[in-house]
Amino acid sequence: MLSETKSHDGVNQLLGLRANTALGLVRSIKRGFTFEKLERVRRETGYPLELLAASVGMSSRTLSRRKKENKLTPGESDRLVSVSRLLSLAVELFEGEKEKAFRWFRSPNRALGNLTPLELAATETGSREVENLIGRLEHGVFS
């Protein structure tokens, strides 16, 4: 499976972070990310902002409020890291082909009960299922 360092680098790149260690990332999460981090993932993936917001547990009203405040909560920031990590794993699965990876991440998947990886990424348990599926696909175990 993808190494922890490679995954960490992918998250840093996707979010535009400079956290050199997991502890540095935790400190950033605890402070809460700026709204720009969510916008950055939107620009990179091409996903609608509302869809990304839902994946980190934000309603449309909360999304508007966070945009105005220019700040995500630590919980929302943590979910955004989780989604970004899964996106990075998907890009690695598709050997760097971002468009294919991002399309796969938004497509219903039989192995995930016909939900999309992005939908499942909204919870920790769902995130683990997506990560497990990526691991199986990396090893040629088709689900």
| pLDDT value, residue 6 | 56
pLDDT at 5 over 90: no
Sign of CA dihedral 64, 67, 70, 71: positive
- DSSP for 67-125 reads HHHT---HHHHHHHHHHHHHHHHHHHHTTT-HHHHHHHHTS-BGGGTTB-HHHHTTSHH
pLDDT at 2 over 70: no
The contacts of residue 72 (CB under 8 Å, 6+ apart) are 32, 33, 34, 35, 37, 38, 56, 66, 80
Distance CA 12, CA 63 (A): 23
Which H or E run includes 130? helix 124-138
Residues in the chain: 143
Q: Taking Cα atoms as reference points, which of 118, 1, 127, 123 lies closest to residue 50?
A: 118
Average pLDDT of the residues of the chain: 91
pLDDT at 143 over 60: no
| pLDDT value, residue 108 | 97
